[in-house]
């Protein structure tokens, strides 16, 4: 199964690469990055998504996000939308990523590390190695907090 990160523009490349490196480092998952715009190169988007059999897609597009819904409506595969949070309009263009018409269901996950985690949990449903990586990842997160608590308690001393 493939993991494919589709960016609406090359200006989203930094985000895409951060998701890819989090997938690899935290969960040992390889992924590909592609760039195509639902507005400007829709046939290219369709060609990309049809070139993969089973896959998890991650879509990254800012401003009015047509890409996530467009990909989702044209594939049998699950789609995770992970748009950047705009500093314009109080970030409310996030609504373009979530208020979908009937029959269009990309799944929103903000922040690169969290998008990678959501992908990993889907992959983990069939890949026991990844499942162990998710377990380890969650355990580390817990330990970080427990350690921080210990440090601060001594600091209370």
Which of positions 49-108 make contact with a second copy (CB under 8 A)? 54, 56, 61-66, 69-70, 72-74, 76-80, 85-86, 88-108
CB contact at 8 A, 80 and 56:
yes
User: From CA 119, how far away is CA 122, in angstroms rounded?
Assistant: 5
Q: In the bound complex, what is the minimum distance in angstroms from residue 93's beta carbon to a second copy?
A: 5
Q: Which of residues 4-23 bind a second copy (CB under 8 A)?
A: 7-10, 13, 16
Q: In the bound complex, what is the minimum distance in angstroms from residue 25's beta carbon to a second copy?
A: 14
Alpha helices in the chain (DSSP H): 13-27, 42-50, 67-73, 95-98, 112-123, 128-156
Q: Which of residues 20-49 bind a second copy (CB under 8 A)?
A: 32-44, 46
6: CB partners within 8 A, 6+ apart = 33, 34, 35, 36, 45, 48, 49, 57, 58, 59, 60, 67, 71
37 is in an annotated binding site: yes
Does residue number 154 form part of the binding site for a second copy (CB under 8 A)?
no
Q: In the bound complex, what is the minimum distance in angstroms from residue 69's beta carbon to a second copy?
A: 5
Q: In the bound complex, what is the minimum distance in angstroms from residue 100's beta carbon to a second copy?
A: 6
Residues belonging to the binding site are 9, 12, 37, 40, 62, 64
């Amino acid at each position: 199964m493939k993991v494919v990160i589709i960016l609406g523009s090359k200006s989203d490349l930094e985000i895409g690469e951060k998701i890819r490196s989090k997938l690899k480092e935290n969960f040992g998952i390889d992924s590909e990055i592609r760039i195509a715009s639902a507005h400007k190169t829709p046939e290219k988007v369709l060609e990309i998504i049809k070139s993969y059999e089973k896959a998890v897609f991650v879509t990254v597009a800012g401003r009015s996000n047509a890409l996530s819904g467009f990909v989702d409506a044209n594939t049998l595969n699950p789609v995770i939308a992970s748009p950047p949070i705009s500093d314009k309009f109080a970030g409310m263009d996030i609504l373009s990523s979530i208020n979908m018409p009937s029959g269009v269901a990309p799944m929103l996950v903000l922040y690169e590390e969290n998008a990678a985690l959501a992908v990993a949990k889907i992959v983990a449903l069939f890949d026991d190695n990844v499942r162990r990586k998710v377990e380890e990842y969650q355990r580390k997160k817990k330990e970080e907090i427990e350690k921080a608590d210990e440090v601060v308690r001594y600091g209370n001393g």
